[in-house]
Structure 1
Amino acid sequence: MSDWTLLALVIALSLALIGVAVGLVLAGPGAARARHGRTRPQRSSFRRGEREERERRAAVIINPTKFDDVARVRAELTTASADLGWAEPLFIETTVDDPGTGQARQALEEGVDLVCPLGGDGTIRAVAVALAGTRTPMGLLPKGTGNLLARNLDIPMGADLAPALRVACTGRNKAIDVAWLELDPAEEPATDDSGQAEEPVEGPPVQRHPFLVMAGMGFDAAIMGGTSEELKARVGWTAYFVTGFRSIFIKRFRVRWSIDGADQRTVSARTILFGNCGTLTGGIQLIPSARLDDGQLDGVVVAPKTLIGWGSVAVRVLGRSEKDGNELIRTSGSVYTVAVDEPHPVQVDGDVIGEASRLRVTVDPQALIVRVAGA
């Protein structure tokens, strides 16, 4: 999920600056690298003709916590599938122990034509782990708080799931990048004067997490972890305003970082983010240069010292300015490393996954096929 915390802060600060009431709060394991041509399914796989002997079938991976009546949702999607000429979907529910990866692998074993995560960005991310590097496309049925991947791909959203299912079943294939974040990765072994590798540095097991929208360390992750599910259920994404105001001056931390092996100037930041796409709710572009299929990641350091500094960040983001400064630094690359003095919380697509003092972020270009609108 793109950084909802920064979005909340940007909008909240901007509204405060122009005197608008704050009542707005009460309103509404490593995938194989994909290559061009290798991951795109043959169009004939989704047309009548050679496979006319059987109906096409989708699997729907449901996060049951998003619905009061799962049976009603299943009936709605079964009817919508029949209207599109597809068989009754294979429905598999996520669990606390498995948020979607195992279910997606089960669906692949069943030989379905399409896998549709039905939930928020976390469910989509878990399903993507199984689908990345395969020829089976993913159809988005957004039903979370953020749904930022769906927003960046212009997938229909709302109470009625039929329009999104129509895009999933009849849309075109689009290959997008999958980003990976490692918590406290083992360090590269040092070399002696002759260039020979010394004994490898011992380190904790690598924890590698995928993300499709955005990941971050610091302020954004602290707010994600501090926003209650109850508040999000009541007021939606605006719930992040409340926690954002409480945490606006979280202590800055020293960041030593590199891009594609080149060391960057050490900065004192409130958060460091990595985006696979950059458009937030309302068309706000946090990272104007970010593209889902360019094989690059976009890194953002947010480092305001004062409220005025936060205001400067807000003006630049809301004004869609590509000009950066000391408070906002935007970069791009394919491999990022980050080291900080003490562990800080880390989030991927809105889910806090723990704390770390070092990160390594990489990207698999066009490793995942998703369905988008269009013939």
Structure 2
Amino acid sequence: MTDWWPLALVVLLLLVVIAGWLLWRATTTAKERGARSGTAYSSSSGRGAQGGTQAETTADETSTAALPRAAVVVNPTKFDRTDKVRAEISKVCRGHGWADPLWLETTLEDPGYGQTKAALAEGVDLVCALGGDGTVRIVGSAMVGSEVPMGLLSAGTGNLLARNLSLPVTSLTQGMKVALTGADHRIDTATLRLRRPLRDADDEDAPPPVDTSDLDDLPPVPRQGEGEVEDHIFLVMAGIGFDAEVMANAPEKLKKQVGWAAYIVSGAQRLKGKQFKVDVRTDAGVRLRRRVRSVIIGNVGKLTGGLNLVPQAQADDGILDLVLLSPEGLVGWGAVVTRLVTRSSRGHQRVDYYTGRTIEVTSDEPVEIQLDGDTLGLATAMTIGVNPGSLILRRPA
């Protein structure tokens, strides 16, 4: 029996050599494949730089691709460190079985419209606006008619749409949870066409005349001329006069320090501002000419500080609510505030309410205009039409 063991030893050594050669060849081939594909491999284990085999990595990518994904359009100026905010949102997404979100930051040149369109082109399942009322408006305007739901992540001073829809305004985590797990709810939006004041004819930078033939039949009021026309979409409310002046002059530094109370300071400084004349027409048959201090058209009615400007307004009723404020002096403002707070009609009629699906307002002089808290400069006329059920929002299930 001792005669065969040398032969067995030779066969065993030969098998070891063959096995070693096969292992070396397999490793070399894997390295070559990795070099061609840009993937680094470890010669000792055959694992890639991501810590798994090529098959495992492909499986992970396939698994991740199968998960729903949200996009977050964020205004970075609202945060000291966006990396911490991004990590918090990503954690919430992973905890609810979603992939890490597509993160898109706004810029001065593009405050969110292009980023939202890019997110929709990527085929995301949800787009969240993370910023103030202005960011929400821009993101929402880009999503109208897209059939992709929108989530609201509040980070501004007013957060008006979130407040009107009873969405979280103090917790980013809670807001993201609602966006991921909430129910889809359709709300109205509104399209506003504003008319700018006519520029000086001697102004070399003045734009060429704009065809406004589709805006004829507006109330004939005395005005210096008709300038360029712009279209905008808003979600909360549009206004000319006092409210726009308040928002335009609220110091940004003060807003960061005291929040919405900064608007109270700005408003107190402008209570004695002059009135202006407007002509108003609605598709419901309203025709009036009135001296006012402010004209507001709302899709919803709640303001900051718990004040409900239009108690009957609903975001999904297919109707716009028109409010005319006509105070004279401090006494008049006292009557306005009393009526808004108590919802009483006692005293002089300082607050008038109307409704319609289309509302036209023309001023006899250029006045400040605002959309959802964003001031847009001076305008002489605005035509607003409602877009029923045009935006899908995530609300608590």
Please tell me the TM-score bracket, short chain as reference.
Answer: 0.7 to 0.9
Q: 1:190 to 1:253 in 2, by over 3 A?
A: closer
Name the amino acid aligned to 2:174: P
User: What is the root-mean-square deviation of aligned Cα atoms in Å?
Assistant: 2.1
Q: How many pairs are equivalent?
A: 313
Q: Distance in 2 between matches of 1:206 and 1:357?
A: 10
Query: What is the 5 A alignment of 1:183-262?
Result: 183-184=194-195, 186=212, 188=214, 204-260=227-283, 262=285
Equivalent residue, structure 1, for 2:289: 266
Runs of 4+ in 1 over 4 A off after TM superposition: 187-191, 202-205, 322-325
Query: Does the C-alpha gap of structure 1 residues 258 and 145 become closer, same or farther in structure 2, counting only changes over 3 Å?
Result: same
Instruction: Find the counterpart in structure 2 of residue 93 from structure 1.
Output: 105
* Aligned residue among 100, 104, 108 for 2:116: 104
Map 1:151-166; keep pairs closer than 5 Å.
151-158=163-170, 160-166=171-177
Q: What do residues 247-288 of structure 1 show as CA deviations (whole Å, max 9, x unaligned)?
A: 001100011111117352211100000000012335432101
Quote the residue 2:179 is aligned against.
168
Corresponding residue of 2:81 = 69
Seq. identity, %: 45
1:357 corresponds to which of 377, 380, 390: 380
CA 154–190 in structure 1, closer or farther in 2 if over 3 Å, else same: closer
Structure with the larger helix share: 2
Between the aligned partners of 1:120 and 1:129, the Cα distance in structure 2 is 14
Structure 2 gaps, min length 5: 1-62, 197-211, 218-224
Shift of 1:187: 5.0
Distance 2:121 2:105 in 1: 16
Task: Tell me if structure 2 keeps the 8 A contact 1:63–1:93.
Answer: yes
Deviation, structure 1 residue 315: 1.4
CA displacement at 1:86 relative to structure 2: 0.7
Residue from 308, 319, 328 that aligns with 2:342: 319
Secondary structure of the corresponding residue to residue 157 of structure 1: coil
Contact kept? 2:335, 2:347, Cα under 8 Å: no
| DSSP 3-state at the match of 1:243 | helix
> 1:321, CA displacement in angstroms?
3.6
One-letter code of the match for 1:99? P
Which structure 1 segments of 5+ residues have no match?
1-50, 192-201
Q: What pairs with 1:275-314 in structure 2 (closer than 5 Å)?
A: 275-314=298-337
- Structure 2 CA distance, aligned partners of 1:265 and 1:318? 26
Structure with larger Rg: 2
Between the aligned partners of 1:59 and 1:141, the Cα distance in structure 2 is 12
Corresponding residue for 2:22? none
Structure-2 change in CA distance of 1:118 and 1:307 (3 Å): same
Bigger drift between 60-69 and 331-340 goes to 331-340
> Displacement of 1:206 after TM fit?
2.6
The answer for the alignment partner of 1:339 in structure 2 is: 362
| Structure 1 residues 323 and 162, CA gap change in structure 2 (3 angstroms) | farther
**Deviations, residues 181-211 of structure 1 (Å, cap 9, x unaligned):** 11118255879xxxxxxxxxx9644301111
1:77-99 C-alpha deviation (Å, 9 max, x unpaired): 11111111111000000000111
The residue aligned with 2:34 is none
The higher relative CO (CA closer than 8 Å, separation ≥ 6) is in 1
Asked whether the equivalents of residues 284 and 320 of structure 1 are also in contact (C-alpha less than 8 Å), the reply is no
Distance 1:54 1:248, change over 3 A: same
Deviations for 1:217-249, whole angstroms, at most 9, x for unmatched residues?
Answer: 011111111111111001100001111111001
Q: Could you say which residue in structure 2 is the equivalent of 1:117?
A: 129
Other structure's SS at 2:281 match: strand
- The structure-2 alpha-carbon separation of the partners of 1:300 and 1:120, relative to structure 1 and needing over 3 Å to count, comes to same
Asked whether the 8 Å contact 1:288–1:322 carries over to 2, the reply is no
Give me the whole-angstrom Cα distance separating, in 2, the residues matched to 1:353 and 1:346: 6
Partner of 2:94: 82
1:27-42 alignment runs, 5 A limit = none
Distance 2:74 2:107 in 1: 9
Note closer, same or farther for the CA distance 1:247–1:118 as it changes in structure 2 (3 Å cut): same
Asked whether the equivalents of residues 187 and 203 of structure 1 are also in contact (C-alpha less than 8 Å), the reply is no
Q: Structure 1, residues 50-89: CA drift from partner, whole Å, max 9, x if none?
A: x997111100001000000001111111111111111100
The answer to whether the Cα contact below 8 Å between 2:271 and 2:329 also exists between their aligned partners in 1 is no
CA–CA separation in structure 2 for the residues paired with 1:367 and 1:309: 38
| Cα shift at 1:115 | 0.0
Secondary structure, aligned partner of 2:117:
helix
Determine the C-alpha separation between the residues in 1 that align with 2:182 and 2:64.
Answer: 19
| 1:368 aligned partner | 391
